[in-house]
Structure 1
Amino acid sequence: MEKIGVYICSSCDIGERLNLDDLAQAANQYNPAVCKTLPFLCGKEAVETIKGDISSEGLDSVVICACSPRVNYDVFDFDGVAVERVSLREGVVWSRPAPAEGEWDNEYVSFEDELMNLAKDYIRMGVVKMQKYAPPEPYKPEEELCETILVMGGGVTGLTAALEAAKAGKEVVLVEKESELGGYVAKMKKMLQPTPPFTDLQEPITGKLISEVKANSNIKVYTGTTVTKISGAPGFYNVELSNGQTERIGTIVVATGFKPYDASKLEEPYGFGKYPNVITNFMFEEMAAKGEITRPSDGQPAKSVVFIQCAGQRDENHLPYCSSFCCLASLKHARYLREQDADARAYIIYKDMRTMGIYENFYKSLQDDPGVFLTKGEIASISEGSDGALVVEVKNTLIGEDLSIDADLVVLATGIEPTTKDDPIVPLEYRQGPGFPELELFYGYADSNYICFPYETRRTGIYTAGCVHQPMIAGTAMDDAAGAVLKAIQCLEAIKVGRAVHPRTWDYAYPEFYFKRCTQCKRCTEECPFGALDDDEAGTPKPNPTRCRRCGTCFGACPERIISFKDFSIDMVGSMIKAWEMPEPEYGQFRILAFVCENDALPALDMAAMYKQKIPVEIRFIPVRCLGSVNVAWIKDALSTGTDGVLLMGCRYGENYQCHFIKGSELANRRMENVGETLQQLALESERVQLVQVAIDEYFKIPKILQDFVATIKELGENPFKGF
């Protein structure tokens, strides 16, 4: 950037704690076109002053030295002019309260002087960043964008997704592997009422949905067909079908549903496969839909039925999770039984009764039925008498007594698994292979950042809905379908203008490669969490920008530093680090660099500042897209120029990962081996570089984490490279 304007706020405690003239002098070292100190930069008068300078001085960018970049972002939006935010309020004065008497132990320099050094370093870093900044250019593919949405699966979820997409004006291709549309819900006798008061049953809605789909000219339907190959990228997919057809597709909604858990694994202790009158909830539904509820052994009416919840569920030996719908299904089945025969009795034995949301009303309606007995309990045994009748022994019940129930029929709530379990049902022609990469946490369900991005898979442009996404009932699956379609359309809209999708939805930059220096090491293609990179026969990366989410993981992985973003580059961050004013050695002025994830660690730091928690004045924070984007070159540059220590603050990884980019913190941790090699080359202690995991709500832990790291560095002593 050629013409930079620097604006320093004097309000919100900044003017009271910092010498504003010294701050301006630090900025003027870089000869900005404008440098002004103003009160209340976020106020109307100051904003108009900045706008006036942009117009009169032809400013390319402005550096706002005031509050956190996470606030007032709409105020400091100047119609295409690049803006860098230097956090003097949260990042300096609010998070570094004056020490109590005796807390500051440096005899050479005062705390106030070190606070000023911190603020001036931040301003220098902000100005240097803008000097290295280039305006992002949206990705504009040569091919024409396709906006057709592929829906895989013709059950209640897929039918709803197809209709919602068509209502939004999109062309839809619906592919169902069975010869008829409708899926499991079409085979049900009744479904739960999806509208208030949520106490009744109704006819399956699939008949109505099928009629609407067939009547909609925007929807092309293939039945008895599967998807055999998906190549390309969002907006430009080529999808091959088993019937020989090829379709051009923009985005994909996977609604292929579930498969029942294999009940043959449940002979002990439940007797499935051993006793003919022990069946599953799916078998019971099928029986009820066909007519009478009877004993399979002899066809006699079932007068006493025991429903056993969580049969093989919430069990580490089978399904470790709750399948969500089973309690409601058993309550529904009890109603079937009672409607068929007023003298019949239903016994529901549960670990916990889970009726999601307002369907508690349905549960209450069954509680009022005197022919339905419900109790928490554990199944001790199931045995069979000479006439095929079953005896169910139950212990640890709510009533405090063990029970022995004579039953004509035992129904096991066996739960479900996603169709993607052990089956790459989405046959992607990606360098990283077909299907979705699995994480243990999701047990085969299409994974994403479960809290923040519930529909996204790790393949951009491909969204999941219904029971392939997570266990749910039919009404919830229909809502889920609408949500997934909206995300699929949002993806198309983002591609149109050349920006990223979730979570960096404002980002127009994309990774650019200088292939002349590429060594074909394949680290970028292997580490990309989203499969955005293919490669040719030689191993040279082949970028697919519309698959990319701009996390920068490839950028951090590259040892040759040939990958860059216009607004985020190796040179930019390296120059920011070198912009510090490094103190002379032997004066106890430690300098520590912390790379912080913009998604969790940065907001947690801001919250710590809001509560006036004490952050060590020795640390300079640089926000990054993700810890996966941290290149070892930055750590080496920092240490070789005298930085005493480097801390990486990222999201949680592993089983309960919280990384917005799935594996960023985990990859950064793996790269610590490379950092160790760097430290050995520099003859520095391994403790000088550490990685910590910080959740967004753990702001109260941050001061101690940082203070402990500073204490470790001080014990090691100053970096011997300081002063050279």
Structure 2
Amino acid sequence: MSRPLVLLCECAGTLANIDFGRLERQAGLYADVIRDTHWCSRGGQARMLELMETSAEDGRRLVFAGCSTDFAARRFQRLLARGLKLEIADIREGCSWVHGDDVDAVTAKAERIVDSSVAHPDAPADAVSYTRRRDTVVVVGGGVAGTQAAVELAQMGHHVELVERRPFLGGRAARIGTVFPTNDCGQCLPTTDAQTGTRKCFHRNLAIDHPDLAIHRRSTVESVAGHPGDFEVAIRTLPNIVTDVCINCGSCEPVCEVESSEPGKKAIFTEFYDGRVVRTVDLETCTFCGRCVGACPVEAIDFSQSPRRTTVNAGAILMATGCEPAPRECFDYLNYDGERVITQVELTEMLDDWTAQAALGCMPVEELVMVQCAGSRDRRHLPHCSRLCCMIALKHAIRLKALFPAMRVVICYLEMRTAGVGYENWFLEARRAGVEFLRGTPPEVQYDAAGRPVIEVEDVTAARKRVLRPDLVVLSTGMVPAEGLDALTQTLGVERDVDGFVDILDRKNRATETSGEGIFVCGSAAGPKALIEVNTEASAVASEIHNFLTSAGRRGTAASRVDASQCVGCDTCSTMCPFNAITLVDRPAWEKRPETVKDDGKLAVIDPESCRACGICAATCPEVAIAHNLSDDALFGRIATMTQGVDRPVVGFYCKECAGAAIGLAGQRRDRYPEAVRLIELPCLGRVSALHIVEAARLGAAGVFLAGCAEGRCQYRSGDTSALEQLSIAEEVLAEGGTPLPLALWHLCAADRMSVGRRIRLFHARAVGEEMDEALFAHEMALIGADTMAAVPCAGGESCGCDR
């Protein structure tokens, strides 16, 4: 096999503290070397392209020693876009620019960096994963979000299976009247195809009849198998009983003698015409007496229908299950009775009837009090803010004052949250309309002898107690995840957040993705949202799914691999994997197994399509049975190479994302720290294990620090948590061995670039035992920020010399 080729770059003479002659001679011992003063010049890039193409044909590794990985990727983007490979050894931001004028020391470190890059590469050249994805999408939830996303995906050319647990599409938007901030109805979708205008009402939008859109009503997802890009989804569908020949004449309803579980409706009822289904039967209360069958003039009622099971093969799954009002137990402390004390949802249903009364000059109640945050923002009930309640109260208050100007409407609140474009206008309009705002919330609602509600509330603004005796109390209750979400997330293997909603991958950058590859979310399934946000997310997720399904496959990300001869089926890796990419299966009889594993023992299997190659599984496997792209051999080799020839080095492991950005930008600033600090880049901080830290100590490291993404912002979700556990294990091992040393974990992002050099200098000084003025040290800590100097408690005692 041909020797690697190293391209040395002098960066136009800006790396004067490196002896390139010496560096060239050292690299020439194990590789062919070509040296240039400016590889990123036009001529240099042309020459590099020729070398890259030749090396690709010969299977020769090409290592560029110069600027940082990020800087080089931008400068050589045109070359790398051709699929040509170029490995980077950072001797500029990671060496020359952050050190002083000691040419001998800086050159020695540059030699170690180049040696490490050549001898211990990240991954084999063939470690690339490609995926083929099916062109079908299963959308779970037929509300506005799910239906809009389904329609847009169908129009993009994908086949869509829309699964809705209720008989009608439209979700809660079809039953809440007007919505804010547009003050029009909620059940409309954006216009599609040749339809004109900006929107079409749900029942007039022909897009839901798209030939590539199949709708499963009264359906739920029973099971999901397969992997991202090729899911097998089992759908269970209950019969609707009323067929599509129904003309909605209403002849069936008068003869029905059974009340539905839906308030005020018979067992056969209509709710909202969504373009296809007109009526349905409440299967929970219907006695199947058959009276409606005899009354139907078009024979549209068929009780012979039975449940059916459908299996769909899909490339992606979208969760759009929405949210629903909090259950009664969350606000029962306010003595809710459904008559004198009701919820905003119930008031919505009453307003249609009240509108008719207003036309007749009647006023149903003279005084009405709304209580905000009823059971919400309360650790005993719902700790979260549902974001919609304040605006719903304002919407209803304004409408009540418009219908009944003489009605007294009071809103009891602690904070009115109108955070949205145009939302504050609703608050101002309510005040102009005469709505009273009382700052304070009652601990309970009592009743007088006549059964009238009595509210005692502390008026915070006036600093006095107020007693209100309204005719009606309306509770602004919070929102909770929709029924069935718990079972659905368990079926899909998707995580939920602390409030029970779907936990999205990244709230800032990837707000429509979940922890499961190929499983997306939009709308209020991920938390309560206004309809304008829901519509925006529906379009966004349709675009994301389209990109996912039409992409050629993920490149450069090979899965970790399990060594069956070492795996004992302990399930540690499956538990630690943040993307549910690892499962335990029955061990094949022909597979090698450790002596301690029985014939019926389990074996960990990694799904290459779900694995994102973070390395957490490889770092946490107690049997060292998982091989990662960045292998343990490569990591141990890098540690040995980087620490070679330096007295009491400080080793720093850092993730290439947030911490890498901070360190790289600090290098751009020439933010100096000692040459004895040796940095090792990882795909994620979760790749580091206690073994790597202990090995660094064995090789003479004076201290080890880990630098990862900003706290709670690991791009692989739990890499920092895993690293902290490994750091604790390493500290115990070192303490038991009598060789404790300073260990620290830092959370960094690009915004911390100004403090990186100072942070490293401080850690190095403490690690090597330099005497420091405590007042100066405290001042430096304050400049950095105490919260960013987090460290694992040291077991070494005062003799350790660290700051913990």
Q: C-alpha deviations, 1:80-123, integer Å up to 9, x for none?
A: 3322222333222333356xxxxxxxxxxxx4433332222222
Tell me, in whole angstroms, the C-alpha distance in 1 between the residues paired with 2:118 and 2:483: 49
Which residue does 1:431 correspond to in 2?
Answer: none
Which residue does 1:614 correspond to in 2?
Answer: 672
Q: Is the 8 A contact 1:68 1:86 kept in 2?
A: yes
Which residue does 1:570 correspond to in 2?
Answer: 632
Which residue does 2:336 correspond to in 1?
Answer: 272
Deviation at 1:484, TM superposition (A): 2.2
Tell me, in whole angstroms, the C-alpha distance in 2 between the residues paired with 1:528 and 1:220: 35
Match for residue 164 of structure 1 among 138, 141, 152? 152
Which residue does 2:217 correspond to in 1?
Answer: 223
Tell me, in whole angstroms, the C-alpha distance in 1 between the residues paired with 2:313 and 2:402: 50
Deviation at 1:219, TM superposition (A): 0.7
Which residue does 1:71 correspond to in 2?
Answer: 71
Which residue does 2:505 correspond to in 1?
Answer: 448
Q: Does 1:325 align with 2:379?
A: no
Q: Is the 8 A contact 1:380 1:395 kept in 2?
A: no
Which residue does 2:104 correspond to in 1?
Answer: 113
Tell me, in whole angstroms, the C-alpha distance in 2 between the residues paired with 1:287 and 1:559: 62
| Cα separation, partners in 2 of 1:564 and 1:338, compared to 1, 3 Å | same
Match for residue 86 of structure 2 among 73, 76, 83? 83
Deviation at 1:153, TM superposition (A): 0.6
Deviation at 1:146, TM superposition (A): 1.6
Q: C-alpha deviations, 1:354-404, integer Å up to 9, x for none?
A: 223213254256246332233543436644345544444443444666544
Deviation at 1:469, TM superposition (A): 0.8
Greater shift in the superposed pair: 176-185 or 664-673: 664-673
Deviation at 1:309, TM superposition (A): 1.9
Q: Is the 8 A contact 1:293 1:337 kept in 2?
A: no
Q: Does 1:188 align with 2:179?
A: no
Which residue does 2:563 correspond to in 1?
Answer: 514
Match for residue 693 of structure 2 among 628, 635, 641? 635
Tell me, in whole angstroms, the C-alpha distance in 1 between the residues paired with 2:410 and 2:665: 51
Greater shift in the superposed pair: 454-463 or 223-232: 454-463
Which amino acid counterpart does residue 164 of structure 1 have in structure 2?
E
| Cα separation, partners in 2 of 1:133 and 1:140, compared to 1, 3 Å | closer
Match for residue 467 of structure 1 among 510, 524, 548? 524
Match for residue 122 of structure 1 among 113, 118, 123? 113
Tell me, in whole angstroms, the C-alpha distance in 2 between the residues paired with 1:438 and 1:426: 7
Q: Is the 8 A contact 1:420 1:468 kept in 2?
A: no
Q: Does 1:487 align with 2:544?
A: yes
| Cα separation, partners in 2 of 1:372 and 1:525, compared to 1, 3 Å | same
Specify the SS of the correspondent of 2:139: strand
Specify the SS of the correspondent of 1:217: coil
Deviation at 1:492, TM superposition (A): 2.5
| Cα separation, partners in 2 of 1:421 and 1:447, compared to 1, 3 Å | farther
Which amino acid counterpart does residue 489 of structure 1 have in structure 2?
H
Which residue does 2:230 correspond to in 1?
Answer: 236
Deviation at 1:256, TM superposition (A): 0.7
Deviation at 1:450, TM superposition (A): 2.5
RMSD: 3.1
Tell me, in whole angstroms, the C-alpha distance in 2 between the residues paired with 1:74 and 1:411: 59
Specify the SS of the correspondent of 1:337: helix
Match for residue 345 of structure 1 among 402, 405, 408? 408
Tell me, in whole angstroms, the C-alpha distance in 2 between the residues paired with 1:559 and 1:12: 48
Q: Is the 8 A contact 1:26 1:120 kept in 2?
A: yes
Match for residue 201 of structure 2 among 208, 216, 236? 208
Which residue does 1:579 correspond to in 2?
Answer: 641
Which residue does 2:321 correspond to in 1?
Answer: 256
Specify the SS of the correspondent of 2:767: helix
Tell me, in whole angstroms, the C-alpha distance in 2 between the residues paired with 1:364 and 1:673: 52
Q: Is the 8 A contact 1:305 1:411 kept in 2?
A: yes
Which residue does 2:302 correspond to in 1?
Answer: none
Q: C-alpha deviations, 1:614-650, integer Å up to 9, x for none?
A: 3333211111111222244433443333333332222
Which amino acid counterpart does residue 591 of structure 1 have in structure 2?
P
Q: C-alpha deviations, 1:535-565, integer Å up to 9, x for none?
A: 2132212222112222122222234444334
Which amino acid counterpart does residue 160 of structure 2 have in structure 1?
V
Which residue does 1:302 correspond to in 2?
Answer: 365
Q: Is the 8 A contact 2:129 2:556 kept in 1?
A: no
Deviation at 1:248, TM superposition (A): 1.0
Deviation at 1:236, TM superposition (A): 1.3
Which residue does 2:47 correspond to in 1?
Answer: 49
- Where in structure 1 do 4 or more consecutive aligned residues deviate above 6 Å? none
Superposition map of 1:365-404 within 5 A:
366-367=429-430, 369-379=432-442, 382-398=445-461, 403-404=466-467
| Cα separation, partners in 2 of 1:403 and 1:612, compared to 1, 3 Å | farther
| Cα separation, partners in 2 of 1:85 and 1:466, compared to 1, 3 Å | same
Which amino acid counterpart does residue 134 of structure 1 have in structure 2?
P
| Cα separation, partners in 2 of 1:52 and 1:301, compared to 1, 3 Å | same
Q: Is the 8 A contact 1:228 1:427 kept in 2?
A: no
Which residue does 2:786 correspond to in 1?
Answer: none
| Cα separation, partners in 2 of 1:239 and 1:620, compared to 1, 3 Å | same
Q: Is the 8 A contact 1:13 1:89 kept in 2?
A: no
Tell me, in whole angstroms, the C-alpha distance in 2 between the residues paired with 1:704 and 1:629: 26
Specify the SS of the correspondent of 1:331: helix
Match for residue 603 of structure 1 among 661, 669, 673? 661
Which residue does 1:357 correspond to in 2?
Answer: 420
Deviation at 1:678, TM superposition (A): 4.7
| Cα separation, partners in 2 of 1:232 and 1:294, compared to 1, 3 Å | farther
Q: Does 1:93 align with 2:96?
A: yes
Tell me, in whole angstroms, the C-alpha distance in 1 between the residues paired with 2:636 and 2:148: 50
Q: Is the 8 A contact 1:292 1:301 kept in 2?
A: no
Tell me, in whole angstroms, the C-alpha distance in 1 between the residues paired with 2:679 and 2:699: 17
Deviation at 1:251, TM superposition (A): 0.7
Which residue does 2:161 correspond to in 1?
Answer: 173
Specify the SS of the correspondent of 2:642: coil
Q: Is the 8 A contact 2:323 2:527 kept in 1?
A: no
Q: Does 1:526 align with 2:575?
A: yes
Which amino acid counterpart does residue 338 of structure 1 have in structure 2?
K
Q: C-alpha deviations, 1:325-356, integer Å up to 9, x for none?
A: 11111111112212322322332333222223
| Bigger Rg over Cα | 2
Specify the SS of the correspondent of 1:647: strand
Tell me, in whole angstroms, the C-alpha distance in 2 between the residues paired with 1:649 and 1:712: 17
Q: TM-score, normalised by structure 1?
A: 0.84
Q: Is the 8 A contact 1:229 1:427 kept in 2?
A: no
Q: Is the 8 A contact 2:136 2:158 kept in 1?
A: yes
Tell me, in whole angstroms, the C-alpha distance in 2 between the residues paired with 1:52 and 1:208: 60
Match for residue 139 of structure 2 among 151, 155, 167? 151
| Cα separation, partners in 2 of 1:73 and 1:378, compared to 1, 3 Å | same
| Cα separation, partners in 2 of 1:612 and 1:145, compared to 1, 3 Å | closer
Q: Is the 8 A contact 2:438 2:459 kept in 1?
A: no
Which residue does 2:725 correspond to in 1?
Answer: 670
Q: Does 1:692 align with 2:743?
A: no
| Cα separation, partners in 2 of 1:288 and 1:95, compared to 1, 3 Å | farther
Q: TM-score, normalised by structure 2?
A: 0.76
Tell me, in whole angstroms, the C-alpha distance in 2 between the residues paired with 1:561 and 1:264: 49
Superposition map of 1:431-446 within 5 A:
435-440=493-498, 442-446=499-503
Q: Does 1:419 align with 2:417?
A: no
Which amino acid counterpart does residue 534 of structure 1 have in structure 2?
T
Which residue does 2:300 correspond to in 1?
Answer: none
Specify the SS of the correspondent of 1:309: strand
Tell me, in whole angstroms, the C-alpha distance in 2 between the residues paired with 1:525 and 1:248: 25
